[in-house]
Structure 1
Amino acid sequence: MPSPPLLPPKPLTPHDLRLACRNGTYSTTTSLTIPTVQCNLLVLPSRYAPSFTQLCARNPVSCPLLHSTLPGSKTTPLAPGANLATDLPKYNVYKDGKLLAEGDGIASVEKYWTEDHVGFLIGCSFSFEWRLAAAGFPPKHTLCVPVRCVPMFRTGVPLSPAGEFTGGCLVVSMRAYKEEDVAEVRRITRAFRRQHGEPVAWGWDGARMLGIEGKVREGLVDFGEWVGIDGEVGEVPVFWGCGVTPQVAVMESGIEGVVISHVPGCMFVTDVPVEDEEVSGLKL
């Protein structure tokens, strides 16, 4: 009987991972063992860049802007030598607000990224999952076999508008924790202000406040994959701002031209150590 095919090993460094993405041999950045900052990617025609920058400034919890490129540039000082058009696992490409039908993501967007495009890197809550796991609070989706992408929900909370971006709503990622552990989870993640920081809501009252209680109770995710909440052991849902928020805002804006984004769960991995983003001394 032939041996089963070997799975590619997990990359050991951010550089290794980016090369694996470039070569098409790595498909997700969920549950990485590399403790460096991960980013959401959004790439827009340059005429929309000022309004998008303002959108991030007005909604810093859900849209924490880490870096924007010059028009046409695919590089970032967060990962010298990387190519933003090839070094993510998968991309989505939209034209005039409609997703181009190319399977479950595109491996390279070189042919779509023009001299007129500006890239934006936005903080991601995957960055602080390393710290949560080290403190004994690993997110449940990272423990699934196979690993799942964190559940994400569109809420009823509107964004503060900016320029062309007027119809967006807050998107949240959800992780389940025992109610007795929520205070410590809040404290740990609060230190990562540029990675969405502490939760925006928690518990079923929080889900109700966000307008998503029904969806959460039924496991009806808008993005990512459902991971259960075990009420018998005291778990409750905990919600963080999510970097899919600006994607939704851009798609709902009706702007023209080609827009590029990461596929949820397929982030850009930088060379910035997680601890460099951590603010010490923060208390409840």
Structure 2
Amino acid sequence: MPSSPAPQPQPLTPQDLRLSCRNGTHSTTTSLTTPTVQCNLLVLPSRYAPSFAQLCARNPVSCPLLYTTLPGSKTTPLASGANLATDLPKYNVYKDGKLLPEGDGIASVEEYWTEDHVGFLIGCSFTFEWALAAAGFPPKHMLCEPVRCVPMFRTVIPLFPAGEFTGGFLVVSMRAYKEGDVAEVRRITRAFGRQHGEPVAWGWDGAKLLGIEGKVREGLVDFGEWVGIDGDVGEVPVFWGCGVTPQVAVMESGIEGVAISHVPGCMFVTDVPVEEESSLKL
């Protein structure tokens, strides 16, 4: 008799994924098998929380704020039983606006997160990649072997300032699509307004407008990993606002004290289904 096919592994639940991050056995949230909302994380001393909330309100495309913790709290109703200080794959730690060498890509920030810290969860474009893939437009970085982190670039577009945050610039993530598919890709992602929404620019003219044409043509990413653009089949770069933007704002601001963030590509995975992202309450 022919042998039965081997059983396929069941997709991890969001709780399983967070526990894997907590245990140090999951290193990225790129191309996950569980279609739930992913978030960027930024944690600041409480005295900067009002200014940062205002920064998000003034720059909603790059900084779509989903949830703000109480001072000292590491929990969120978006993920049952989660600990924001342990349940992301990797964290960055900043002191006085500068990345600490020993805080680059660490697995837990329990020792840095004090009773005075406030956590902010910001929408992530990884969330809408499910919709793109389901519609037949999977981002190329998801198809790489091994999977790569989406390319990200710091642009020359300044943020609208708020309080202490006066020197930030828009960061964008890039995905390559055939020029004839850009309109449909824009339509699909437009529905995810809490996850950066539709692209802010596309094509080589868009790259020039953002001040990053040279970097994109040469594959010189500021964050993430390069994924090529195949001009022979009509591909062009397409750019979305990116939740790494607040990290750049923190580094440019020179604020005092300890700040914490996710490492690009290492997001916080919530329990909220992708199709319910628009119903999230602040």
TM-score (norm. length: structure 1): 0.94
The corresponding residue for 1:135 is: 135
Give the % identical residues.
90
Cα distance in 2 for partners of 1:100, 1:189 equals 35
Structure 1 runs of 4+ off > 2 angstroms? none
Moved more, 52-61 or 100-109: 100-109
Q: Which amino acid aligns with 1:28?
A: T
Backbone CA RMSD of aligned residues = 1.2
Rate the CA distance shift 1:10–1:235 in 2: closer, same or farther, 3 A: farther
Greater CA drift, 167-176 or 95-104: 95-104
Structure 2 distance, partners of 1:61, 1:98, is: 25
Consecutive unaligned residues of structure 1, counting only runs of 5 or more, are 1-8, 280-284
8 Å Cα contact 1:63-1:246 kept in structure 2: yes
Deviation per residue, 1:35-81 (Å, 9 max, x gap) = 00000000000000000000000000000000000000000010021
Q: Which residue of 2 aligns with 1:63?
A: 63
Q: Which amino acid aligns with 2:108?
A: S
| Structure 2 counterparts to residues 132-281 of structure 1, below 5 A | 132-277=132-277
Paired residues of 2:202 and 2:239 also in contact (CA < 8 A)? yes
Instruction: Tell me the distance in 1 between the aligned counterparts of 2:96 and 2:90.
Output: 20
CA contact (8 A) 2:94 2:103 kept: no
Cα distance in 2 between the residues matched to 1:232 and 1:74: 48
Report if the CA contact (8 A) 1:11-1:20 is conserved. Answer: no
Contact between 2:178 and 2:234, CA under 8 Å: does it hold in 1? Answer: yes
Query: How big is the shift at 1:102?
Result: 2.5
Gaps of 5+ in 2: 1-8
Alignment of 1:57-136 (within 5 A): 57-102=57-102, 104-136=104-136
Distance 1:66 1:32, change over 3 A: same
- How many angstroms does 1:251 deviate by? 1.0
Specify the SS of the correspondent of 2:34.
Answer: coil
Secondary structure of the residue that 1:188 maps to in structure 2? Answer: helix
| 1:11–1:17 contact (8 Å) kept in structure 2 | no
Deviation at 1:11, TM superposition (A): 5.5
Report the counterpart of residue 4 of structure 2 in structure 1: none
Deviations 1:202-226 (A, max 9, x none): 0000001101001000000000000
| Secondary structure of 2:102's aligned partner | coil
In structure 2, C-alpha distance between the alignment counterparts of 1:24 and 1:133, rounded to whole Å: 28
Would the aligned equivalents of 2:87 and 2:268 in 1 still touch at CA under 8 Å? Answer: yes
**Cα pair distance change 1:85/1:108, threshold 3 Å:** same
CA distance in 1, matches of 2:263, 2:63: 16
For these two proteins, the number of residue pairs brought into alignment is 271
SS of alignment partner, residue 243 of structure 1: coil
Query: How far apart, CA to CA, are the structure 2 residues paired with 1:11 and 1:92?
Result: 28
Aligned residue in 2 for 1:43:
43
Contact preservation (8 Å) 2:65, 2:120: yes
In the TM superposition, what is the alpha-carbon distance from 1:101 to its structure 2 partner?
A: 1.4
Look up the SS of the partner of 1:105 in the other structure.
Answer: strand
Change (3 A) 1:119 1:10: farther
